[in-house]
Chains A and B, each alone.
Chain A
Amino acid sequence: MKLYEHTAAELSRLLQAKEVSSVDVVHSFLERIGLFDPHLKAFITPTPLMALDTAAEVDNRRMRKEKMHPLAGVPVAVKDNISTRDLRTTCASRVLENYVPPYDATVIGNLRNAGMPLLGKTNMDEFAMGSSTENSAFFPTRNPWDLSRVPGGSSGGSAVAVSTAMAPLALGSDTGGSIRQPASFCGVTGLRPTYGRVSRYGLIAFASSLDQIGTLTLTALDCAFLMNLIAGYDPLDSTSLPQDEPDYTDCTDPEVKGLRVGVIKQNVSAGFDREVTDAVLKAASLLEKNRAEVTEVSLPLTDYGLGAYYLIAPSEASSNLGRYDGVRYGYSAEGSSVEAMFSRTRGEGFGSEVKRRIMIGTYALSAGYYDAYYLQAMKVRTLIRHDYEAVFKNFDLLIGASSPTPAFKIGEKTADPLQMYLSDVCNITDSLAGVPSLSVPAGIHSSGLPMGMQLTASPLREKLLLKVASFFEQERDPLSLRPQLELSEGGSP
């Protein structure tokens, strides 16, 4: 077995047993990146030298018998909206194309302290606005299962890196499905933790009340390792949760007996791809077979969720993105007046989807419209939260599809923003409610594409989600769920 084929948990074991060096591990992944990334374009900024430096340092420290973090020497890829000190962080936008943060996000500090080599910054939809990674200002990322298809988004680069073994682990961010939907399109495990569980400090804001950093991994256990490192209270983030974090790795006991499971009616909808729905129902019956109590549950407000989301998120975005004015950092256009400089900078620096959302948000917050749009959407959000609180009195776990269809074609939805927005329909209510939500592989579609299933629990019950994910892994070995990438003579897969 090649080093890059291992899970992060296995790499951790091998490194701790000194059977392999971190430099070897990093080389193995860098080689994969060198082979495949020119075709897949998962990385905006690969950082091979930095990764090797960290790896060598970790190896030295291990030789000196220093006490090391379990993930020391295990490399990681990071979405390019998470601030990295002295390393450009673009948010896949022209406006930040040459922006180099002078500080690390809290999660990056965690990775550095643990000694995890950073393989690079991954591609995404500009400012995390999108569901296909086609909105990157630089280039689209391709789905490794079918190069004519999108990897999902906005954390498309991170999902592709993990699914193709260009990285064993990756960080992404999820505002309205940006981890879970690409995880399902690429056949990996993607966790959106409870809002506030992982510090947002240093995550470039899209919609502050919804943004959450999370993980893209091959297995539930790998996710648990990464969560052990990044979850927890951060005094620098006022919205971070003060509760102590558990040991997530204690999640491999696959017992589901007695678990009260609700299949969300709206997320196995008749309008969805039939095979996707069937995959979810099959998983539900597997749970039932193992003596979980499975019933159907309706979350009727789901229908309003998408509308509320597409008012709240753009409203916050219109304010969060105001700072890109060319005065202090980032792209700056000349202008005959301050106002001209502002509008040219923003007109040239932002892509069309970002502009669309800034305009929607500006409109929704304007005097005379605020009550009808923003305020109304916030009321819907409150009702959705109440809905969830009520449901979780009777259920431990909710399941449904991660996305109505497997990955769609590049260009298929770019002309129709509403169709694009609908591709997050399964993910958005969990985001609005702030609950933890995980996408796990649910089998292969007849088209050869992976499908995903979304598991949702009440706040702070990430471990339950990981446990159930482990249960499904017993049935379907994640290592076997890799896209078949073969290099032809010319170097194309």
Chain B
Amino acid sequence: MKYEVVIGLEIHLELQTQSKLFCGCSTAFGREPNTNCCPLCLGLPGSLPVFNRKAIELAVTAALALNSSIQLKSRFDRKNYFYPDLPKAYQVSQYDQPLARGGCLEIEFEGSRKHVNLERIHLEEEAGKLIHAGDSILGADYTLVDYNRAGIPLLEIVTTPELCSGREARLFLEDLRLVLLYCGVSDCKMEEGSLRCDANISLRSTGSRELGTKAEVKNMNSFRSVEQALDYEAERQEAILSAGDSVIQETCHWDEEKKVTVPLRGKEGSSDYRYFPEPDLLPLVLQSSFVESLAAALPELPYERRLRLQEQYQLAKKEAFLLTENRELGDFFESVARQYEDYRSLINWVQGDLLYQLHESGKHAKEIEPRLLIELLLLVDKGIINRPVAKDLLTEMIKTGESPQKMVQERGIEQISGRDKLLPIVEQVVNENPEAVKNFHRGKKKALAFLVGKVMASTGGRADPNELNQLLKEKLIKKRTGGRMKD
């Protein structure tokens, strides 16, 4: 029997606010444990929550960007369970009246487009963090708790179960991340935990409508591990079903080292969270003018930018993708393009040498001043320097921030061009290398390159390559005719 994979994702996102969801404590990462804490963060008796307006703004912005329908009236509920990282023994979350319902994100998968639908988006608070002394939870001698993280605003995004492979799930997540980055709602760092993803995955026989028994996969700490874990889990379930057995509904952990999913024992399989409306908060009522103003302030989103880049600068799809995914690079490209009209040449530099040198030097595009690249490109266009020199200057410019114009003036590395200047050098090289000249005449193309190299060497690489080629060919052909006549 053939099976198809059905995956639904549950994404948690730490919103980029200065202060926590229900109190004024800082959300800064990496502080001394338990210092970003107030009575509320520690669950002290008598403490009460108060909404953080900024968190609500960011949540609404994210929901709007994902085409989700904002609910003008939503409600907060308590999700009750006992765990040492949960200071009040309940998490304030949204249960049956979420902030936003529905929504979708379009992804490109294997050349075709796919709409991935969202179930809902809601706000909730982050829990604290457990630090186990020892290798694992089970083997730990003791456990420490840090409540700095407790109360940071979290956005939960739930997709409908309609992704069909690990690869597709990964693409969806990467696109989602990009949208959220563009909205400025989160820094979306999976490695630091500000973006987290759990998945429900099940198999069903191809064509069937009913969902099979699912497993919940947790602890996938990178986009790659999402893909690997889900592909692994799909294969595991397929093997079980093919053998005529049935999948057990369970929660498992992705073991990054061993590359396997491991069932998580000891945690209650089906917890009863005893949700009920949070009596310490009033229902959240949004003015439609508030939502409208946030909608109007939405920045250009990645797919919009992709299309615009293609159109405005006549870029290839692949190039537009690059400039969208690498937002800084895209911003850099566009600020240069405002004053430099040869977009084709510009994109070639940007996606080629510039990107390479940024990687090499570990610098970011936003650290480079656009006017420096413009200077460099104009030097090339005017024939003042040649491409090889320009590449060297680019490397230095990125490293030091020095002006290419100034470097050219100081170092005397202008291009040598013009018959007058180049011909004597060409003649000298031809005369000094008779063997190569012979080889050229025997039809060996490498000989030309050799002679070009010789000229470049004697000019310190400054010869105008086009003119040099022209002159050299001219000279060699002349020499051959002359020779025959002599012979």
Contacts and interface: CB of A to CB of B under 8 A. Distances in A.
A281 to B, nearest CB: 37
A226 to B, nearest CB: 20
B46 A338 contact: no
* B-side interface mostly: loop
At the interface, is chain A mostly helix, strand, loop or mixed? loop
Interface string A223-257: 00000000000011111000000000000000000
B311 interface: no
Interface string B82-102: 111001111000000000000
A83 B51 contact: no
A238 B39 contact: no
A459 interface: no
A366 B274 CA distance: 5
Given A323-B43, A374-B276, A237 B145 contact: no
B48 A238 contact: yes
A338 to B, nearest CB: 6
B22 to A, nearest CB: 9
A304 interface: no
B82 A322 contact: yes
A218 interface: no
Nearest to B23: A236
Nearest to B90: A319
A105 B39 CA distance: 11
B42 A319 contact: no
A208 B280 contact: yes
A327 B88 CA distance: 11
Contacts of A207: 279
Contacts of A366: 272, 274
Contacts, number: 100
Interface in A178-225: 200-205, 207-209
A269 to B, nearest CB: 30
B48 A236 contact: yes
Contacts of B90: 319, 322
A102 interface: yes
Contacts of B83: 338
Given A322-B88, A365-B276, A238 B50 contact: yes
B46 A201 contact: yes
B275 to A, nearest CB: 8
Contact of B46 (A202, A370, A374): A202
Given A238-B50, A365-B80, A204 B45 contact: yes
Interface string A38-58: 000000000000000000000
Nearest to B273: A367
A351 interface: no
A322 B280 contact: no
Contacts of A237: 48, 50
Contacts of A166: none
A441 to B, nearest CB: 31
B282 interface: yes
B282 A205 contact: no
B93 to A, nearest CB: 13
A471 interface: no
B44 A103 contact: yes
Contacts of A82: 46
A319 B84 contact: no
B294 interface: no
A99 B45 contact: yes
B281 interface: yes
Contacts of A209: 279
B49 interface: yes
B280 A238 contact: yes
A37 interface: no
B78 interface: yes
Contacts of B78: 319
A201 B80 contact: no
A50 to B, nearest CB: 20
Interface string A318-348: 1100110101110000000011001000000
Interface string A414-440: 000000000000000000000000000
A91 B45 contact: yes
B89 A319 contact: yes
A96 B45 contact: yes
Interface string B257-281: 0000000000000001011100111
Given A322-B88, A328-B44, 15 more contacts: A83-B44, A101-B45, A101-B46, A102-B44, A105-B46, A200-B46, A200-B48, A202-B47, A205-B46, A237-B50, A318-B274, A322-B82, A327-B84, A327-B145, A367-B274
19 contacts: A200-B46, A201-B47, A202-B47, A208-B279, A235-B50, A238-B281, A239-B281, A316-B276, A319-B90, A322-B82, A322-B90, A327-B145, A328-B43, A338-B83, A338-B143, A339-B82, A365-B80, A365-B274, A370-B274
Interface of B: 39, 42-51, 78, 80, 82-84, 87-90, 143, 145, 272, 274-276, 279-282
